[in-house]
Amino acid sequence: MLSTTPRQGDYIAGQQEANVVLTSLADMVQWAQNYARSRSIWPLGYGLACCAIEMMAAAQAHYDLARFGSEVFRSSPRQADLMIVAGTVCTKMGPRLVRLYEQMPDPKWVLSLGQCATSGGEFYDSYYTVQGVDTLVPVDIYVPGCPPRPEALIEGILKLREKIEKQGLKIKGED
Ligand code: SF4
């Protein structure tokens, strides 16, 4: 017996026509560049406190950050795209953190992992703790928690992917 229920891929008059996309060569190249960058974000191997243990766990077999192309933690800032600020930033570490950030090649991104890096956390208003790493370097993604679980870090990296995919492109409905 013949089924009249449309299946995926069947031609339905008036629907396929809506899927035409117009773009420019520059936007296509930009999209391809963004796509490649977003799928190979190499983090700097840089941990400051307990949040770094969660970052290390994310790269291990159980959470397998390699599924998203970000397991290649680099020992040199010159080979890294992403600075994961994993832990408490003390005032003495601040200038070193800025130097490492400046040594990373462009384009580069920063992810603030945990309450301490984002706002000082439990060391709020203390004289020796930086009250948010965004007072030192520009932050692209904030991951909340104390400590944030490895899944939360992976979610943050996926959000960063989405952000990179849109860089430099004019997307209808978004400014
Ligand atoms: S947010 Fe919590 S787990 Fe992370 S560095 Fe601060 S105290 Fe440690």
Q: What is the tens place of the pLDDT at every residue in 141-154?
A: 999 999 999 999 99
Do the beta carbons of residue 164 and residue 37 sit within 8 Å? yes
Q: How many CA atoms lie within 13 A of 161 on its CB side?
A: 16
Instruction: Give the sign of the dihedral formed by CA 162, CA 163, CA 165, CA 170.
Output: positive
Element (H, E) at 18: none
- Ligand 1 pocket, residue 136 CB under 6 Å: no
Q: What is the pLDDT of residue 119?
A: 93
| pTM listed for this prediction | 0.83
Q: What is the pLDDT of residue 150?
A: 94
Give me the residue spans of the domains in the chain: 42-164
- Ligand 1 pocket, residue 147 CB under 6 Å: yes
The Cα 28–Cα 149 span in angstroms is: 36
Amino acid sitting at position 89: V
Selected residue with higher pLDDT from 8 and 91: 91
Query: What are the tens digits of pLDDT across the range 11-57?
Result: 777 666 666 677 788 888 889 999 999 999 999 988 899 999 999 99
- Ligand 1 pocket, residue 119 CB under 6 Å: no
- Ligand 1 pocket, residue 53 CB under 6 Å: no
Going by C-alpha positions, the residue among 40, 55, 22 that lies closest to residue 164 is 40
Ligand 1: centre distance to CA 42 (Å): 23
The Cα 41–Cα 68 span in angstroms is: 9
The Cα 43–Cα 73 span in angstroms is: 5
Do the beta carbons of residue 51 and residue 87 sit within 8 Å? yes
Domain range 42-164, its CATH number among 1.10.3720.10, 3.40.50.12280, 3.40.50.300, 3.40.50.2300: 3.40.50.12280
